[in-house]
């Protein structure tokens, strides 16, 4: 069959080009989609949610960094509250298997390895069911202008697609496609994540290859601008 002859490199090169194409036309569509979007319950996806109540009893080891409800207090630690449940579930599995590494998460890896997939799904459901506290972008005109431009329109010349193509106009991601929410996320975490993609240090999952190909074209200043803009996004 045709797709068998396509290498992974060619496949993700195509995906990147496709995202750039979307970026050149997609703002109007995304605005409409944001207004008319389906609720997660209405989306035709073959994914069964976990038990948030059960998950609440499994997060004692997570509280120190992520807060009691998933709203971390440290800029370098990610907020999990309100995050896409399926995305959280997959990331927990990556940490459990060792495919994704992080110095802080290594301390709880043994605990994750003691849990089954049902437990991980329940934890994801718990955090997803909570509400993110949001954030406030730094009032820096130049940084905000650059962040707005990159997030909403991308940079075709540098092969950087608009972030709205996957993460939506308001940064709440895409539950159907399993793209994470970035709205209100901690600045330090956003910066370190984009740099980890750029250096290819973060490489768990096929979606990471797309992010690597995008982040490799971002400068430190552009990463700072995007992180600041996304931190202040809210719906």
Q: What is the DSSP letter of 179?
A: B
Assess whether pLDDT exceeds 80 at residue 42.
no
Assess whether pLDDT exceeds 70 at residue 207.
yes
CB distance 85 to 128 below 8 Å = yes
Residues 160-201 pLDDT 10s: 999 999 999 999 999 888 999 999 999 999 999 999 999 999
Assess whether pLDDT exceeds 80 at residue 121.
yes
Residues 212-226 pLDDT 10s: 999 999 999 999 999
Q: How many CB atoms lie within 10 A of CB 30?
A: 22
**Closest CA relative to residue 15, chosen from 182, 203, 206, 190:** 206
Query: Which tokens go with 175?
Result: 């539950």
What does the domain layout of the chain look like in residue ranges?
2-36+135-231, 52-129
174 backbone dihedrals φ, ψ, rounded to 5°: -145, 105
Assess whether pLDDT exceeds 50 at residue 46.
yes
Assess whether pLDDT exceeds 80 at residue 59.
yes
Do domains 2-36+135-231 and 52-129 share one topology? The answer is yes
Query: Which tokens go with 8?
Result: 């992974």
Q: How many CB atoms lie within 10 A of CB 103?
A: 6
**Closest CA relative to residue 93, chosen from 120, 114, 70:** 120
Does residue 101 or residue 12 have the better pLDDT? 101
Assess whether pLDDT exceeds 70 at residue 18.
no
CA 107 to chain centre: 22
Residues in contact with 38: Cβ distance below 8 Å, sequence separation at least 6, in sequence order: none
Residues in contact with 176: Cβ distance below 8 Å, sequence separation at least 6, in sequence order: 43, 44, 45
Which secondary-structure segment (H or E) carries 222?
helix 220-231
Assess whether pLDDT exceeds 80 at residue 132.
yes
User: Looking at domain 2-36+135-231, which of 1.10.3720.10, 3.40.50.1700, 1.10.760.10, 3.30.540.10 is its CATH number?
Assistant: 1.10.760.10
Mean per-residue pLDDT over the chain, rounded: 86
Q: Would you state the pLDDT for residue 17?
A: 53
In whole angstroms, give the CA distance from residue 36 to residue 49: 23
Class of the domain covering 52-129: mainly alpha
Residues in contact with 173: Cβ distance below 8 Å, sequence separation at least 6, in sequence order: 84, 87, 166, 167, 179, 180, 181, 182
């Amino acid at each position: 069959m045709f797709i068998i002859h396509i290498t992974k490199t060619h496949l993700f090169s195509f995906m990147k080009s496709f995202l750039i194409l979307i970026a050149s036309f997609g703002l109007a569509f995304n605005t409409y989609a944001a207004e008319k979007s389906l609720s997660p319950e209405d989306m035709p996806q073959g994914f069964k949610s976990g038990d948030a109540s059960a998950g609440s009893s499994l997060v004692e080891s997570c509280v120190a960094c992520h807060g009691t409800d998933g709203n971390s207090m440290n800029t370098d630690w990610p907020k999990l509250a309100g995050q896409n449940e399926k995305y959280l579930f997959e990331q927990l599995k990556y940490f459990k298997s060792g495919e994704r590494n992080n110095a802080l998460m290594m301390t709880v890896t043994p605990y994750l390895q003691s849990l089954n997939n049902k437990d991980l799904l329940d934890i994801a459901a718990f955090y997803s069911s909570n509400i993110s506290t949001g954030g406030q972008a730094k009032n820096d005109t130049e940084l905000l202008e650059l962040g707005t431009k990159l997030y909403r329109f991308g940079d075709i010349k540098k092969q950087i697609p608009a972030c709205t193509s996957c993460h939506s106009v308001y940064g709440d991601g895409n539950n159907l496609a399993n793209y994470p929410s970035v709205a209100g996320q901690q600045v330090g975490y956003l910066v370190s994540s984009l740099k980890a993609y750029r250096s290819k240090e973060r490489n768990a999952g096929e979606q990471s290859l797309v992010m690597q190909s995008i982040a490799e074209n971002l400068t430190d200043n552009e990463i700072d601008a995007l992180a600041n803009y996304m931190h202040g996004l809210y719906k």
